[in-house]
């Protein structure tokens, strides 16, 4: 697996933290990167204008994605302004890796 750090490009968001996503190294394509990133961030792929490798490189094709290294930081640049909010942040229980049983443990 290739582990990448992804966030939505928007300095106006209260929380603009990165999340880590995993991509199968056998499926390192732009389309798969877009699909997984959007799913994890709760974004409609149709609203992504571009994917930027920080600090200033636009990813355009499968070869660009194949060159990514573990823990590189990426941003999804959306085509809409934050006033329209066509995306939503998934709740904790909707995020992959959420363990309902572990969340109910009391100490």
Q: Residue 36 maps to which CATH number?
A: 3.10.20.90
Q: Is residue 107 domain-resident?
A: no
Q: Domain limits at 45?
A: 1-76
pLDDT per position as a tens digit, 47-70: 999 999 999 999 999 999 999 999
Asked if 60 contacts 30 with a C-beta cutoff of 8 angstroms, the reply is: yes
pLDDT, residue 48, reads 94
Looking at the domain assignment, is residue 19 inside a domain?
Answer: yes
Q: How far is Cα 82 from Cα 13, in angstroms, rounded to an integer?
A: 8
- Asked whether the predicted pLDDT for residue 27 surpasses 60, the reply is yes
> How confident is the model over 87-102, as a mean pLDDT?
51
Identify whether 81 is part of a domain.
Answer: no
pLDDT tens-place string over residues 6-20: 999 887 767 788 999
pTM summary value: 0.72
Q: What was the pLDDT predicted at 84?
A: 47
Domains in the chain: how many in total? 1
pLDDT of residue 96: 55
Cα separation of 48 and 80, whole Å? 9
- Tell whether the torsion through CA atoms of 27, 32, 37 and 40 is positive or negative: negative
């Amino acid at each position: 697996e290739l582990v990448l750090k992804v966030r939505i490009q928007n300095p106006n968001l209260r929380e603009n933290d990165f999340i880590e996503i995993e991509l199968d190294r056998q499926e390192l394509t732009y389309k798969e990167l877009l699909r997984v990133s959007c799913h994890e961030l709760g974004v409609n792929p149709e609203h992504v204008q571009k994917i930027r490798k920080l600090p200033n490189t636009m990813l355009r094709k499968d070869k660009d994605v194949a060159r990514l290294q573990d823990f590189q930081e990426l941003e999804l640049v959306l085509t809409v302004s934050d006033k329209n909010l066509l995306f939503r942040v998934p709740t904790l229980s909707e995020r992959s890796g959420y363990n309902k049983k572990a969340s109910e443990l009391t100490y």
